[in-house]
A and B are shown apart, each in its own frame.
Chain A
Amino acid sequence: SQQGEEDPQALSIQEGENATMNCSYKTSINNLQWYRQNSGRGLVHLILIRSNEREKHSGRLRVTLDTSKKSSSLLITASRAADTASYFCAPRDNYGQNFVFGPGTRLSVLP
């Protein structure tokens, strides 16, 4: 298993703006997943991107993957107050069986 490192650790934006957060990892992966956690709640799976994909969309979410740089980014467009949460990436290689979550990005969307 390997751990992703999210960046920045904290991000504050105004409602309606776009939010971008990044994830870096160390070794080659099979896929990378993003999860969201609202304060004091469980994590929710957002999106999975496979190593042979470069970009994936889901609603207002856009995820990109650059395997040469070992990094991924999550873009949230037209942010809302309800997007205020911590966001975690989970890189999955072909050997690790479990998720190891990094410190996450704490996003605050201000009204």
Chain B
Amino acid sequence: DTEVTQTPKHLVMGMTNKKSLKCEQHMGHRAMYWYKQKAKKPPELMFVYSYEKLSINESVPSRFSPECPNSSLLNLHLHALQPEDSALYLCASSQSQLAITDTQYFGPGTRLTVL
């Protein structure tokens, strides 16, 4: 199984809502990533988990809260978002963050709209 799955595919939320994005992989990868992508822009790294520990937080606002319950799952908890947070949120995984020849496997993304 070389697939990264993400749910939901689409999400519309108000600025006062709390929601979560989910990501799952069963490739035995030990690194997982969240990216944010605005229209016609490249993906921008938000968080990296390595061996279930938060390795990198790219100065992301606290209204985004990542969680890695186990090596296969990655969540992104959303609270009090702003309309400018509307974007495609991509999850990715790789065998190891530290391997230079590591390649990343991406999920299909969650299209988030904040009203």
Contacts and interface: CB of A to CB of B under 8 A. Distances in A.
B104 interface: yes
Interface residues of B, number: 26
Interface in B50-98: 55-56, 88, 90, 92, 97-98
B111 interface: yes
Interface residues of A, number: 24
A44 B2 CA distance: 11
Given A97-B98, A98-B45, A40 B111 contact: yes
B101 A31 contact: yes
A40 B41 contact: no
A92 B108 CA distance: 24
Interface of B: 4, 33, 40-45, 48, 55-56, 88, 90, 92, 97-98, 100-101, 103-109, 111
Given A88-B42, A98-B56, A103-B42, A41 B100 contact: no
A100 B107 CA distance: 18
Interface of A: 30-31, 33, 35, 40-45, 48, 50, 88, 92, 94, 97-104, 106
